[in-house]
A = this chain, B = another copy of it.
Amino acid sequence: MANTKKMDYVLLGLLSHEPMTGYEMKKRLDSSLRFFWGGSFGSIYPTLNQLEQEGKVTKENASSNGREKISYSITDIGREALKEWLKKPAEKDEIRYETLLKLFFGNETGFEGAGEHIERFEEKCKDELQILRMFEENLSHYLEEDTHKYYYLTVQFGIRTYESYLKWCEEAKRLIEEWKR
């Protein structure tokens, strides 16, 4: 149950904001949602067809100049299904950090190796934080729109998180130096 697919709700959610193509949905997953969710074309397109058969979305040919393009819109049935799901408590919040895994078993490679993992992680965090701060800045100009408010909350979450990751990096590096001696 906790491991059932969520892609249908993700797509319905995106379409609840505005009609768009599958390609555009992928872009949203890679930008706005990238911090806490993901997905590939291989799961987007089949799910969209399934949603159409269930009457939760409608297709509309939006091709222009011979470039194939399908615009999807959410239906009342789809919106109801989305709302129903949204009302239920979140089932699973999980993190999977290979960095922490490698750190946990760090004894095999020693403090040197552990330090390298932390430094690489630190760089990644700085990059992500920069992206999130950009989102924050952009969003701050459009906070009147309600959908942006929710987006803003998730961006704040990300910023807080990465900031605390960076603080941990400092502390961890300090501890390791201490242990090296």
- Option from B79, B107, B164 in Cβ contact (under 8 Å) with A160: B164
> Any chain B CB within 8 A of the CB of A6?
yes
Complex CA distance for A179 and B151, rounded to whole angstroms: 14
| Residues of chain A in range 98-121 having any CB-CB distance to chain B below 8 Å | 98-109, 113-114, 117, 120-121
Main secondary structure of the interface of A (DSSP, over half): helix
What are 15 sample pairs from A and B whose C-beta atoms fall under 8 A apart?
Answer: A6-B98, A9-B105, A32-B104, A36-B101, A37-B96, A93-B97, A93-B124, A100-B157, A104-B154, A106-B150, A107-B147, A149-B175, A156-B171, A160-B167, A163-B164
- Option from B6, B16, B107, B164 in Cβ contact (under 8 Å) with A161: B164
> Any chain B CB within 8 A of the CB of A94?
yes
